[in-house]
Chains A and B, each alone.
Chain A
Amino acid sequence: MELLSPTAIAKKNALAVQEYAHLSARSIANLFRRPLYLADIIQQADLIGVGSLPIVVLTGTFTGMVLALNTSATLQQFGSLSLTGQLVSVSMVRELGPVLTSLMVAGRNASGMASELGSMQVTEQIDAMRALGTDPYKKLVTPRVTSTVFMMFFLTIISDLVGLVGGYIISFLLLGLDTFQYWNSAYQALKYNDVITGLIKPLFFGFIIATVGCYYGLSTRGGTQGVGRSTTQAVVAASVLILAVDVVLTKLLLSFA
């Protein structure tokens, strides 16, 4: 590990932020420029959406179950067990559905993008693509960003639904709540603002996952070791950024309530 002066480190970080911002801006700008790589978008959507489905269904279900168990313990003390559905649905839709789904997809796809583009970078395939007259930002980055944003939206909805089902399974089997009671309170509890918040968040998170993954991939240096480093950093950076942006978004969207 080489030693750097604090100013050198600050400079390096400022440059990295600048490059990341540049990549993000370009990935959006390319949406309005030809060619639009539709086949690549569909391929990525399949990889991200269909590929992440099992893991999203599993985490969603278990989270819903755990929510039901935890809240029921508290609710029972106040004799209001019937509110379980309400608590599960609000927590799931506002917060846990979007955040857990994006953390899962970050672990799976931000790392995947970083390692794929990273290997391409260190084996000169990115340079080869540029040399062949194709813009890697258009061909590689924009399709990944588009399909991640698109897919995160639907994956989150699925996660919310299976979370509610998970909560229902626990409520019905272990807590003895009846079906109508659970679903009715779950449905009644949701306000317009909850739903909007829950559906806007994944769009931002999806954007973070793909741009961070691609950024670390394309800035990979130093052979296979560098690819490993980029992959890890991409997941860490994407996860932290998701949680930080979540705070800001939650605050902002609450002010519209």
Chain B
Amino acid sequence: MAASNHLPIDTIHKTIIFDDVAIAFEDQVVLDGISFELKRGETKVLFGVAGSGKSTILKLALGLMKPDRGHIYVLGHDVTTMTEEELFDLRNQVGIVFQESALFDSFTVRENVAFRLMEEKLPEDEIEKRVREALSFVELEHTMDMLPSELSGGMRRRVGIARAIITHPEVLLYDSPTGGLDPITSTTIIELIMKQRDVYKTSALLVTHRLQDGFTLATHRYDPEAKHMVPLDGAVSRDVHTSFLILRDGKVIFDGTAVDLGHIENAYIREYIS
């Protein structure tokens, strides 16, 4: 599946391509030959035990760190060979929600969400309008003038999502957006991610520890009229917009749809999804 073999890279249908990527920290090998593709409009759910390298994959995709081996293509650009200066432009088309939110703690919620727009020097009223829009998307309009330290963990995650989506990026990377949250807040967040997928047709990588998040995404769609998610009618297999990827010991041990996952015999995977 070496992408480099069939240049030019298929960027019409593929937004992210990992081609034999490996990285080690000191002597610990974290990723060892990872290859996968993210199709346009698809949300790929990444599973793996703690420390299996899920967050590392997202950081690599943004060029925040460089792999020891392999190539990573994002929207047709090989991020492994780009300079930091060139990466800044590409990163404007990709949104990321960090595992610990990583909000700027000396900025208000408004300034956090508006960060990109302020950097682009958009007019004040335009910024105001879009911040409101993004915050209402995550139902947090009332927190505008608060500082991140005054918010709960779940609210911070949602502000993180608002900050990531405000420019409507083509690709979104969510790092454990439901980690450590109650089921109700988690569902709200999954619904937001589904809305991005179904309304804005964004491609996304979603890291999560909750298998349920993946299955909810695979079995529901967002209904813009009803303004909430509804179960997909008919077979799950109809939904091709959600796929699963499982990491173990630095390798991809599963990459496919929810239906494929149900048919897998591998003992580790069976245990993982049970």
> Which residues of chain A have a CB within 8 Å of any CB of chain B?
35, 119-120, 123-125, 127-135
**Which residue, of A35, A120, A128, has the highest number of chain B Cβ atoms within 10 A?**
A128
Identity of the chain B residue whose Cβ is nearest the Cβ of A126 in the assembled complex: B102
Determine whether the beta carbon of A135 is less than 8 Å from that of B84. Answer: yes
> Which residues of chain B have a CB within 8 Å of any CB of chain A?
59, 62, 64, 84-85, 87-89, 91-92, 94, 96, 98, 100, 102-105, 115-116, 119, 121, 163
- Which 3 residue pairs of A and B lie closest in terms of their CB atoms, listed nearest first? A128-B102, A124-B102, A133-B92
Report the minimal beta-carbon distance from B95 to chain A, rounded to whole angstroms: 8
Determine whether the beta carbon of B98 is less than 8 Å from that of A132. Answer: no
Known: A124-B102, A125-B102. A131 touches B64 (CB 8 A): yes
Residues of chain B within 8 A (CB-CB) of A132 are: 91, 115-116, 119, 163
Q: Could you tell me the distance between the alpha carbons of A159 and B175 in the complex, rounded to whole angstroms?
A: 51
Give 17 pairs: A residue, B residue, CB < 8 Å, sorted on A: A124-B98, A125-B103, A125-B104, A128-B98, A129-B104, A130-B62, A130-B87, A130-B88, A130-B91, A131-B62, A131-B96, A132-B91, A132-B119, A132-B163, A133-B88, A133-B89, A135-B85
Q: Could you tell me the distance between the alpha carbons of A134 and B96 in the complex, rounded to whole angstroms?
A: 14
Identity of the chain B residue whose Cβ is nearest the Cβ of A134 in the assembled complex: B119
Identity of the chain B residue whose Cβ is nearest the Cβ of A137 in the assembled complex: B84
Residues of chain B within 8 A (CB-CB) of A125 are: 102-105
Q: Which of A119, A120, A127 contacts B59 (CB 8 A)?
A: A127
Q: Could you tell me the distance between the alpha carbons of A127 and B64 in the complex, rounded to whole angstroms?
A: 7
Q: Could you tell me the distance between the alpha carbons of A110 and B64 in the complex, rounded to whole angstroms?
A: 26
Residues of chain B within 8 A (CB-CB) of A128 are: 96, 98, 102-104
Residues of chain B within 8 A (CB-CB) of A124 are: 98, 100, 102
Q: Could you tell me the distance between the alpha carbons of A130 and B115 in the complex, rounded to whole angstroms?
A: 12
Determine whether the beta carbon of B102 is less than 8 Å from that of A123. Answer: yes
Known: A124-B100, A133-B116. 18 other contacts (CB 8 A): A119-B105, A125-B102, A125-B104, A125-B105, A127-B98, A127-B102, A128-B96, A128-B102, A129-B104, A130-B87, A130-B88, A130-B91, A131-B64, A131-B91, A131-B96, A132-B115, A133-B88, A134-B88
Determine whether the beta carbon of B119 is less than 8 Å from that of A133. Answer: yes
Q: Could you tell me the distance between the alpha carbons of A131 and B100 in the complex, rounded to whole angstroms?
A: 14
Known: A127-B59, A127-B64. A133 touches B91 (CB 8 A): yes
**Which residue, of A119, A132, A135, has the highest number of chain B Cβ atoms within 10 A?**
A132
Determine whether the beta carbon of A123 is less than 8 Å from that of B105. Answer: yes
Residues of chain B within 8 A (CB-CB) of A130 are: 62, 64, 84, 87-88, 91
**Which residue, of B100, B102, B163, has the highest number of chain A Cβ atoms within 10 A?**
B102
Q: Could you tell me the distance between the alpha carbons of A131 and B89 in the complex, rounded to whole angstroms?
A: 10
Q: Could you tell me the distance between the alpha carbons of A129 and B87 in the complex, rounded to whole angstroms?
A: 12
Report the minimal beta-carbon distance from B78 to chain A, rounded to whole angstroms: 18
Identity of the chain A residue whose Cβ is nearest the Cβ of B98 in the assembled complex: A124
Residues of chain A within 8 A (CB-CB) of B96 are: 128, 131
Determine whether the beta carbon of B102 is less than 8 Å from that of A135. Answer: no
Q: Could you tell me the distance between the alpha carbons of A130 and B89 in the complex, rounded to whole angstroms?
A: 11
Q: Could you tell me the distance between the alpha carbons of A124 and B87 in the complex, rounded to whole angstroms?
A: 18
Identity of the chain B residue whose Cβ is nearest the Cβ of A124 in the assembled complex: B102
Residues of chain B within 8 A (CB-CB) of A131 are: 62, 64, 91, 94, 96, 98
Report the minimal beta-carbon distance from A12 to chain B, rounded to whole angstroms: 13
Identity of the chain A residue whose Cβ is nearest the Cβ of B59 in the assembled complex: A127
Q: Could you tell me the distance between the alpha carbons of A120 and B102 in the complex, rounded to whole angstroms?
A: 9
Report the minimal beta-carbon distance from A143 to chain B, rounded to whole angstroms: 14
Q: Could you tell me the distance between the alpha carbons of A89 and B64 in the complex, rounded to whole angstroms?
A: 52
Q: Could you tell me the distance between the alpha carbons of A131 and B64 in the complex, rounded to whole angstroms?
A: 7
Report the minimal beta-carbon distance from B246 to chain A, rounded to whole angstroms: 25
Residues of chain A within 8 A (CB-CB) of B102 are: 123-125, 127-128
Identity of the chain A residue whose Cβ is nearest the Cβ of B93 in the assembled complex: A133
Residues of chain B within 8 A (CB-CB) of A129 are: 104
Q: Could you tell me the distance between the alpha carbons of A123 and B149 in the complex, rounded to whole angstroms?
A: 13
Residues of chain A within 8 A (CB-CB) of B89 are: 133
Q: Could you tell me the distance between the alpha carbons of A123 and B104 in the complex, rounded to whole angstroms?
A: 9
Q: Could you tell me the distance between the alpha carbons of A127 and B92 in the complex, rounded to whole angstroms?
A: 14
Residues of chain B within 8 A (CB-CB) of A120 are: 104
Q: Could you tell me the distance between the alpha carbons of A171 and B121 in the complex, rounded to whole angstroms?
A: 56
Residues of chain B within 8 A (CB-CB) of A134 are: 88, 115, 119
Q: Could you tell me the distance between the alpha carbons of A35 and B91 in the complex, rounded to whole angstroms?
A: 17
Identity of the chain A residue whose Cβ is nearest the Cβ of B119 in the assembled complex: A134
Q: Could you tell me the distance between the alpha carbons of A135 and B83 in the complex, rounded to whole angstroms?
A: 12
Report the minimal beta-carbon distance from A59 to chain B, rounded to whole angstroms: 29
Residues of chain A within 8 A (CB-CB) of B84 are: 130, 135
Report the minimal beta-carbon distance from B168 to chain A, rounded to whole angstroms: 14
Q: Could you tell me the distance between the alpha carbons of A119 and B87 in the complex, rounded to whole angstroms?
A: 24
Residues of chain A within 8 A (CB-CB) of B163 are: 132
Q: Could you tell me the distance between the alpha carbons of A125 and B156 in the complex, rounded to whole angstroms?
A: 13
Residues of chain A within 8 A (CB-CB) of B62 are: 130-131
